[in-house]
Amino acid sequence: MTHGPFEFDEIGVWSELKLEIVGKYGAAYTNAFKKSDRLKKYYIDGFSGPGAHVSKATGSIVEGSPARALKVSPPFDGYYFIDLNPEKTDYLRSLCGNRSDVHIRTGDCNDILTRNCCRRFNTEITTAPCVSWIHMACISIGK
Ligand SMILES: C[S@@+](CC[C@H](N)C(=O)[O-])C[C@H]1O[C@@H](n2cnc3c(N)ncnc32)[C@H](O)[C@@H]1O
């Protein structure tokens, strides 16, 4: 399915399952820390995509991992979404609106996460528990 200058990726049932897990794991994670006001919780998605896909099974639009993360309750304190493709990050910006807790970067996540991050990003994520969703793997980094 074409949406503006790019086509949404078609995803199989296994990816739809993975996306359900993002929401459930995220909620379990933020719930576990909800009494720890001192600790900040960040959601970092290094391969965020545009925030929407098309289901191979049904042909309908499926919310991507950023959209799932933004619905997690209790919410994370901040969200960092990174994707190589500027058309995808532009689309994601249009989905997220003007939220001060959402930070969207375009580029290689290997560079952005290790070298090009702004000071706030570096300081905050190295002192806070966060969920890092890196493509097919979900890694939890706790401090
Ligand atoms: C499978 S899609 C995104 C899926 C998304 N995390 C979700 O679950 O809805 C993978 C994305 O990774 C992006 N990508 C690939 N290599 C990348 C890299 N080195 N840095 C950042 N983004 C990358 C691609 O542009 C593509 O949009």
Q: Is the CB of 49 under 6 A from ligand 1?
A: yes
pLDDT at 87 over 70: yes
The residue count of the chain comes to 143
Does the pTM exceed 0.75? yes
Per-residue model confidence (pLDDT) at position 109? 87
Calculate the average pLDDT of the chain. Answer: 83
Per-residue model confidence (pLDDT) at position 114? 77
pLDDT digits (tens, 9 = 90+) for 17-73: 999 999 999 999 899 888 887 778 888 898 999 999 999 999 999 999 999 999 999
3-state helix, strand, coil in the chain (%, to 5): 40, 25, 35
Q: Which atom of ligand 1 is nearest to the CA of 133?
A: 6
pLDDT at 113 over 90: no
Residue type, 93: R
pLDDT bin (cut points 50, 70, 90) of residue 136 is very low
Which CATH number fits the domain that encloses residue 63? 3.40.50.150
Per-residue model confidence (pLDDT) at position 106? 96
Q: Is the CB of 6 under 6 A from ligand 1?
A: no
pLDDT bin (cut points 50, 70, 90) of residue 13 is very high
Instruction: Count structural domains, the chain.
Output: 1
Contact 43, 72 (CB under 8 A): yes
Q: Give the residue among 30, 122, 112, 18 at the shortest CA–CA distance from 71.
A: 30
Domain containing residue 42:
2-141
Contact 23, 67 (CB under 8 A): no
Report the separation in Å between the CA atom of 48 and the middle of ligand 1, taken as the mean of its atom positions.
Answer: 5
